Structure 1
């Protein structure tokens, strides 16, 4: 569970400016899978760890309402200032304390966020809030693969080392 990361508004603004957005194709594929499991109306999507709402936006065309939550008040504050569809509602909330009624959501999503969660508690919460046939969809980035004709292995090794060193301090 993240308590001290992404807290300041200045950092949240930088995050909003430079974080890559998930492709709409990802949302389409997730919704296609959901529709195989759930045949009712798509009334509620719960996007957990939403940051500035980039992933919330890809689900908004499908649902009557998207509740987008983040543990960081600064992230939610910045998200509310951005140009988002009107059916997205941003709230400050922990992933382990989802702010919706039992059995009310057709999907719980988290894009590049679940590594911050207490996963055992998060999954208990998803079980509580999902309706029968509802799904959890977790997504994230892949690591880059270097394609340089002569230096690919050296570049990949350097990247892996830097990532490892950074991960030791997170």
Structure 2
């Protein structure tokens, strides 16, 4: 199971270093939703479930008195603690299906790029249990595809990256309805009436060739491929970097490619 890979220290550092940056669009969407539903109420506590190295945990810190990051991987939590600079943020090793929190004690249950790894019904039951009345639930992830934009070379660059995605998608070891439904299954399973499912949320990041190669390594499916066939995995990286450099030519060391991603998000409120 892929979850085991998140417990490896080397992968935790790779994930922290190279995984695509936090989406401001998603963060702002979640915070706007929570504050609107709070209707002026002080936001006391948020919990970030499956927090990994804390990439989505820290942006919550300025908006809540306390933020707790939870993850099943002690190596991810260890990296998160090293990266944490917010005094009101703490971390703990815990399962998403068994949250170490009291009933009705949390203003926001958040899970970024993580819910597809959980036993969804059990996680949602726990999320609803710990939410206060008027508290919110938010989960989101990005689609397993991208579109590269760089001068008149976009088509060639996208052809290379498309082959990478095709290879990585073959490694997906969770059911298709969880991996490719854009969380429609999560939306339908939420036992709350006040809920929204938003798809095709655009974001744009800029990556150099080394950063793009690093991003590939930070994707858990690549790590699964590496476990199965290290030669094939290394060949994929080497070939991809070589093709990017061939296409970019003299600009290979200086180019900052625009990489367009699409995110999806599920929001809900407990009444």
* TM-score, length of structure 2 as denominator length: 0.57
Runs of 4+ residues deviating >6 angstroms? none
- With over 3 angstroms needed to count, the CA separation of the structure-2 counterparts of 1:156 and 1:18, relative to structure 1, is closer
- State whether residues 21 and 55 of structure 1, in contact with CA within 8 Å, keep that contact through their aligned partners in structure 2: no
Gaps of 5+ in 2: 174-220, 225-271
- 1:2 shift after superposition: 6.4
Gaps of 5+ in 1: none
- 1:28 shift after superposition: 2.2
Establish whether residue 165 from structure 1 lines up as the match of residue 170 from structure 2: yes
Separation in structure 1 between the aligned mates of residue 123 and residue 45 of structure 2, nearest angstrom = 18
**Could you say what secondary structure the match of 1:85 adopts?**
coil
Over aligned residue pairs, what C-alpha RMSD do you find? Answer: 2.2
Deviations 1:58-114 (A, max 9, x none): 111100000000000111111111142111110000000111111111111111111
Aligned to 1:44: 45
* TM-score, length of structure 1 as denominator length: 0.88
Deviations 1:37-69 (A, max 9, x none): 222210000000001101001111100000000
- With over 3 angstroms needed to count, the CA separation of the structure-2 counterparts of 1:82 and 1:150, relative to structure 1, is closer
**Could you say what secondary structure the match of 2:62 adopts?**
coil
- 1:151 shift after superposition: 4.2
- With over 3 angstroms needed to count, the CA separation of the structure-2 counterparts of 1:32 and 1:153, relative to structure 1, is closer
- 1:15 shift after superposition: 1.6
Separation in structure 1 between the aligned mates of residue 120 and residue 154 of structure 2, nearest angstrom = 41
**Could you say what secondary structure the match of 1:89 adopts?**
strand
- 1:162 shift after superposition: 1.3
- With over 3 angstroms needed to count, the CA separation of the structure-2 counterparts of 1:100 and 1:13, relative to structure 1, is same
Alignment of 1:20-169 (within 5 A): 20-39=20-39, 40-142=41-143, 143-146=145-148, 148=153, 150-151=155-156, 154-155=159-160, 157-168=162-173
Separation in structure 2 between the aligned mates of residue 3 and residue 150 of structure 1, nearest angstrom = 34
Larger radius of gyration: 2
User: Which has the larger helix fraction?
Assistant: 2
- State whether residues 5 and 11 of structure 2, in contact with CA within 8 Å, keep that contact through their aligned partners in structure 1: no
- 1:146 shift after superposition: 4.4
